[in-house]
Amino acid sequence: KAGVTQTPRYLIKTRGQQVTLSCSPISGHRSVSWYQQTPGQGLQFLFEYFSETQRNKGNFPGRFSGRQFSNSRSEMNVSTLELGDSALYLCASSSLLGTGGNEQYFGPGTRLTVT
Amino acid sequence: DQQVKQNSPSLSVQEGRISILNCDYTNSMFDYFLWYKKYPAEGPTFLISISSIKDKNEDGRFTVFLNKSAKHLSLHIVPSQPGDSAVYFCAAQPGGGADGLTFGKGTHLIIQP
């Protein structure tokens, strides 16, 4: 079974631009969560999608948004990029909504650098 | 306000000995606790989890202990192997999956030969 894939793996953008990251979950998984990892804040939950609906949301500004398609693939968008958005963005998939202690499977991440 | 804390940024252990990684939490609503392992340039990999109704869960060389009254959990790795060298993240989640995982900042475990 193929794992979670994320594209692109690396991205360099300029302040003020917008960016879209893509995530393909494990086949059969309907839940996709996004996390931001920075050296200062660690791994922080952005949002979770299940069956094309956002179910949970972390404490991030509205510049961060996402969507999920009928095939469970998900995209994350960040508008008006700021230097502080430079981070590793991780996508995780699960067969269930939330985890309830069940594991989420993470992709390798997209390294975003904002200059 | 950090709800999940891993106070040791790094830990060095000799191969074959026991590795003990600690994690403290402040949110009493957390019902599930998970440990993830992360190698450089890879996403975190699930290791083991425990529900708040248990105080111990074991899987091979990995055992997680939960002390609810102290809001403390620990991961024991016995015996430690060179391939265990990685960053270990503790994560927690309220019951019902109402929120995503809240992660600690990680402990870098180094297994010395």
> What are the tens digits of pLDDT across the range B16-37?
999 999 999 999 999 999 999 9
pLDDT digits (tens, 9 = 90+) for A4-48: 999 999 999 999 999 999 999 999 998 899 999 998 888 999 999
Write the residue in A44, A98, A106 that is nearest to B93 by C-beta: A98
The SS3 call for residue B83 is helix
* B36 neighbourhood in chain A, CB within 8 Å: 106
Q: What is the DSSP letter of A82?
A: -
Question: HSE (CB half, 13 Å, CA atoms) of B72?
Answer: 8
* B37 neighbourhood in chain A, CB within 8 Å: none
Closest to A84 in 3D by CA, of A57, A114, A111, A109: A114
Question: Can you tell me the distance from the alpha carbon of A9 to that of A104, in angstroms, rounded to the nearest whole number?
Answer: 20
pLDDT at position B112 is 96
pLDDT at position B45 is 92
**pLDDT-flagged residues of chain B (< 50):** none
pLDDT at position B5 is 96
Question: Can you tell me the distance from the alpha carbon of A31 to that of B63, in angstroms, rounded to the nearest whole number?
Answer: 28
How confident is residue A101, by pLDDT bands cut at 50, 70 and 90?
Answer: low
CA distance to partner chain A, nearest, from residue B12 (Å): 21
pLDDT at position A79 is 96
